[in-house]
Chains A and B, each alone.
Chain A
Amino acid sequence: MTEIKLENVSNKYILKKVNLTIFSKELFMLLGPSGAGKTTLLKAIAGLVDYEGRIFFDGESIDNLPLEERMVGYVPQEFTLFPHMTVEDNIAYGLKARKLPSSTILNKVEQLLDVFGLRNLRKRYPKDLSGGEKQRVAIARALAIQPRVLLLDEPLSNLDPETSKYIREWLKSIIIRRFGITTIWVTHDIREVEELGDRVGILYNGVLEQVGRLREIISSPRTDNIVELLGLHNIFECGVIETDGPFAEIEFQGIRLLAPYDGGKIEKVLIHPQDIVISRETTKTVNTFSGVLEEVDEKIGYVRLKIRVGEAILVSELPLDVYGLLNLRLGEKVFINIRPRAVKLIS
């Protein structure tokens, strides 16, 4: 299995001296906003764009290898299935291009049709497939050539949330447990990182700003960009008042919160700004507090509010239309509510 190493990989459009090592058989998540250079980085590894710097697979430079010899399975965001080929022809394409014996091609295609549950769809053209089916064909096609590394560019972004949630774990088990391929999975969705990744790299404006486990990054984000991207505005050191089964009562800066608890040491608490609900009236449910609106900052499509609760300043983000309906004024008393499930405890 293959270790990927990037040394000062730059590209004239976006990438700026990216240094990164991805371990053999690792599922590495690459997180960043749109236009951060995530796709360009994948394309550089696949040999689809020009770059400076060096890329190694298992210590050997691949910089001078033509892209058909890099043995990279690349699955673009829009899947890019060949529309004039059936499902089985799409999967077989790489094997035929490499002029493998037809019996080998047949066996491999049959195997992948089974693994990806595509047997009944083998004669269909891509236009007759759903988003989820297209995604499975695209990944099966990439895996058919037995690539050294697999590059997945936002593989779940074209799927509806329900399908995407169901497919995440299944895909991870196929890629890592069954095929054991070193994989880079590009996403802009932190939930995918939380559920799937060993380690994550945060790419912002072509710069790899931090690499590590998500918990480590959330505990100590290295830049403001990461705070912004991961929504880490409300992260506080906290103490535990008491634990009661699956819940814990914690306290930070004079605020007491009920939070889900799964054992272990608790050091910090994180609340995403979107999870703080603002109202003019109290709802008398748990995790409800009164506060004072101190700052309003209009962004594109949403409003960021700073609310003082006791000694703490909590950041909330509301969609523009909701903010308009609330008709809030600076200095006004408001009530905030945080669902216990939205309170994340960090050890």
Chain B
Amino acid sequence: MLLLLSWEILARLNILPEYLFPSFTKTLFSGYILIRNGTLWVNVLASFIRVITGFLIGSITGIVLGVIMGYKDAVYRALHPIFSLLMPIPALGWLPLLILWIGINEALPILLVFICSFFPVLYNTVSGIRSVDKGYVEIARSLGASPRKAFFDVVIPLALNNIFTGLRLEAGMAWRTIVAAEMIAIPVGIGALMITSQYLIRVDIIMLCLVILALMTLTSEKLLMLIEDKIIKWR
């Protein structure tokens, strides 16, 4: 609230011209116009669908592969050297290559979000699975559980803490990646709207997009925290 009030006061002091630093109310009004003519909806929805699709595919693949790598040493030894080499590359570093390989189409931003979600979720899952105390598995086995049952009943639930940490971190990162990708190569989406607004010197729309971006990132992280609290009741 204080931040919004300061923004409004600073803008009204006219230190910078209004077209370079519009007030909060002006930005809000621009948002209202963009909602009414449908521009904002189309762009936010496009980014949202890309983030959700890329994030879901990346997370599910990361969790499944992470579980296998965490459980089977041989798989870990085979894949870890490859993944540890690929993981440090920033998701946007793949952009030029992906443009050449798959072209500029809807798959491009989804693939970038996939890459940005996959590795952290994978390694958080691996470390979650591997950090579960073997004593729990021994007890489950001595109580009559098969190795498979002990794994699903004990190891996976106890690894959830780590898995959710990976998911929460990457929910925010997915939004940052999608905006950057849309700014560079995609014609529709929040990032694309920001770049178009820059050409048109519409700082009010750029600021509106930044506010939306902040809200979407925060909401994604909070939503995941809520799901985490619902699932991991025993913490």
A contacts, CB < 8 Å to B: 43, 46-48, 67-68, 70, 72-74, 76, 78, 80, 82-85, 93-94, 97-98, 125-127, 141-142, 145
Closest to A49 in B: B138
Which of B139, B144, B157, B158 is the one whose CB lies under 8 Å from A98?
A: B144
User: Assuming A74-B139, A76-B139, A84-B157, is B145 touching A97 (CB within 8 A)?
Assistant: yes
Query: Is the Cβ of B158 less than 8 Å from the Cβ of A84?
Result: yes
Query: Is the Cβ of A74 less than 8 Å from the Cβ of B142?
Result: yes
B contacts, CB < 8 Å to A: 133, 135-136, 138-146, 149, 153-154, 157-158, 232-235
A-B contacts counted at CB < 8 A amount to 65
Closest to B232 in A: A84
Q: Give the distance in Å from the alpha carbon of A72 to the alpha carbon of B146 in the complex.
A: 15
Which of A48, A85, A125 is the one whose CB lies under 8 Å from B142?
A: A48
Main secondary structure of the interface of B (DSSP, over half): helix
Query: Is the Cβ of A68 less than 8 Å from the Cβ of B233?
Result: no
Q: Give the distance in Å from the alpha carbon of A46 to the alpha carbon of B232 in the complex.
A: 31
Q: Give the distance in Å from the alpha carbon of A121 to the alpha carbon of B154 in the complex.
A: 21
What A residues does B157 contact at CB under 8 A? Answer: 84
Query: Is the Cβ of A97 less than 8 Å from the Cβ of B139?
Result: no
Query: Is the Cβ of A80 less than 8 Å from the Cβ of B158?
Result: no
Q: Give the distance in Å from the alpha carbon of A72 to the alpha carbon of B139 in the complex.
A: 10
What A residues does B143 contact at CB under 8 A? Answer: 68, 93-94, 97, 141-142, 145
Which of A47, A84, A97, A142 is the one whose CB lies under 8 Å from B234?
A: A84
Q: Give the distance in Å from the alpha carbon of A126 to the alpha carbon of B133 in the complex.
A: 16
What A residues does B136 contact at CB under 8 A? Answer: 80, 82
Query: Is the Cβ of A80 less than 8 Å from the Cβ of B144?
Result: no
Q: Give the distance in Å from the alpha carbon of A35 to the alpha carbon of B135 in the complex.
A: 18
User: Assuming A68-B146, A82-B154, A84-B157, is B234 touching A93 (CB within 8 A)?
Assistant: no
Could you say which of B146, B153, B234 has the most chain A C-beta atoms within 10 Å of its C-beta? B234
Which of B138, B153, B158 is the one whose CB lies under 8 Å from A83?
A: B158
Query: Is the Cβ of A127 less than 8 Å from the Cβ of B234?
Result: yes
CB B158 to nearest CB in A, in angstroms, measures: 6
What A residues does B135 contact at CB under 8 A? Answer: 76, 78, 80
CB B191 to nearest CB in A, in angstroms, measures: 40
Q: Give the distance in Å from the alpha carbon of A68 to the alpha carbon of B146 in the complex.
A: 7
User: Assuming A84-B157, A98-B144, is B234 touching A125 (CB within 8 A)?
Assistant: yes
What A residues does B138 contact at CB under 8 A? Answer: 43, 46, 48, 74, 76, 80
CB B230 to nearest CB in A, in angstroms, measures: 13
Query: Is the Cβ of B140 less than 8 Å from the Cβ of A97?
Result: yes
User: Assuming A78-B135, A97-B149, is B142 touching A67 (CB within 8 A)?
Assistant: yes
CB A145 to nearest CB in B, in angstroms, measures: 6
Other than the given A47-B142, A82-B154, A97-B140, 8 more pairs (CB < 8 A) read A43-B138, A48-B138, A68-B143, A80-B133, A80-B136, A97-B145, A97-B153, A125-B233
Could you say which of B144, B145, B234 has the most chain A C-beta atoms within 10 Å of its C-beta? B144
Could you say which of B142, B144, B146, B158 has the most chain A C-beta atoms within 10 Å of its C-beta? B142
Q: Give the distance in Å from the alpha carbon of A68 to the alpha carbon of B138 in the complex.
A: 10
Q: Give the distance in Å from the alpha carbon of A191 to the alpha carbon of B112 in the complex.
A: 66
What B residues does A84 contact at CB under 8 A? Answer: 157-158, 232-234
Q: Give the distance in Å from the alpha carbon of A145 to the alpha carbon of B136 in the complex.
A: 17
- Chosen A-B contacts, 22 in total, with CB atoms closer than 8 Å, are A43-B138, A47-B142, A48-B138, A68-B145, A70-B142, A72-B142, A78-B135, A80-B136, A82-B136, A82-B139, A82-B154, A83-B158, A83-B234, A84-B158, A84-B234, A85-B234, A97-B146, A97-B149, A97-B153, A98-B144, A142-B143, A145-B143
Q: Give the distance in Å from the alpha carbon of A76 to the alpha carbon of B136 in the complex.
A: 10
Query: Is the Cβ of B144 less than 8 Å from the Cβ of A145?
Result: yes
What A residues does B234 contact at CB under 8 A? Answer: 83-85, 125-127
What B residues does A78 contact at CB under 8 A? Answer: 135
What B residues does A97 contact at CB under 8 A? Answer: 140, 143-146, 149, 153
Q: Give the distance in Å from the alpha carbon of A48 to the alpha carbon of B158 in the complex.
A: 21
What B residues does A126 contact at CB under 8 A? Answer: 234
CB B235 to nearest CB in A, in angstroms, measures: 8
CB B135 to nearest CB in A, in angstroms, measures: 5
What A residues does B154 contact at CB under 8 A? Answer: 82
CB A62 to nearest CB in B, in angstroms, measures: 13
